[in-house]
Amino acid sequence: MTGQGLGRAESDAGSVSVEVRSVNQRGLKISPRLSDSLAPLEPKLDQHIRSQVQRGTLHINATFIPSGVVVAGEINVPVLTAYARQLRQVQESIGGDFSIELTGLLTLPGAVAIGSVRTLEAETLWPMLVTATDKAIAAMDAMRLAEGDAMATQLFVEIELIAGKLREIAELAPRVVDHYRQRLEAKILRVMEDRGLEFSPSDLIRDVQVYADRSDISEEITRLTSHLNLFGETLRGREASGRKLEFIIQEMFREANTIGSKASDSDISTRVVDIKCSIERVRELVQNIQ
């Protein structure tokens, strides 16, 4: 699910600010962007975040600002020159006329080194980074939770629609065999009358029984109903359930397809289409659930 959170932590050394933005993703992908003083902590930060978040693409921006009166930043001339040289090469290769803003170059990583930051070991900033990150993730989770509540409401609506259509199919199912018997009997009588022959009712009963066994969808209805109940129970649970819900949806699709293929009735087929449309909407929503 999407979400955004900001966190900040302070100490005598300065302050760390962390911004976390998440977008939908089936797995977990972390894209960190840390200021130079925090960059050595990136592997530890990655592990820390993975212990709290299971799914989504997370964009992390973390910066450290030293406290007190800090000496003016020292421009790293070789780095700045290298940036400018590369930008001129790009300009020559793509053509066009645009200027290279010096202020823009100064914002690039390593262009400016702050004197007081150099005296700090990265590990001394770790407690602040953890605190700020946890606050940002908590704020992001609150936003995602609000989105999840709205999503859960819609999922329950879709599940109830599926259950309603399934109840209608269960009511229509008995007439499928009866209609088949009527059509078959009428067809046989017509052929026999044209040829002056008689037929044995036992043959008709046997054929109808074979058709009834082949088109029986009672087991599929029972299993799909069970899947709907399990889906609801899983959705109400407190643990991360996105992957489990996806597996349940696969089984729901399988049962719906079987019902549609076995019950050769237009009214049932129409309701199967409605069920599959609802399941597809459920699938799209579940892809955003952690």
> Is 21 or 72 the better-scoring residue by pLDDT?
21
Task: Report residue 183's pLDDT band, with 50, 70 and 90 as the boundaries.
Answer: low
Q: Is 66 helix (H, G, I), strand (E, B) or coil?
A: strand
- Predicted pLDDT at 203: 56
For 8-27, write each residue's pLDDT tens digit: 999 888 899 999 998 876 67
Look at residue 190 and tell me whether its pLDDT is greater than 60: yes
- Helix 242-262 crosses helix 218-236 at what angle (to 10 degrees)? 160
For 234-290, write each residue's pLDDT tens digit: 888 766 577 788 899 999 999 999 888 877 778 888 999 999 999 999 998 887 666
Task: Report residue 113's pLDDT band, with 50, 70 and 90 as the boundaries.
Answer: low
For 115-149, write each residue's pLDDT tens digit: 544 446 778 899 999 999 999 999 988 888 787 78
Q: Model-level pTM? A: 0.55
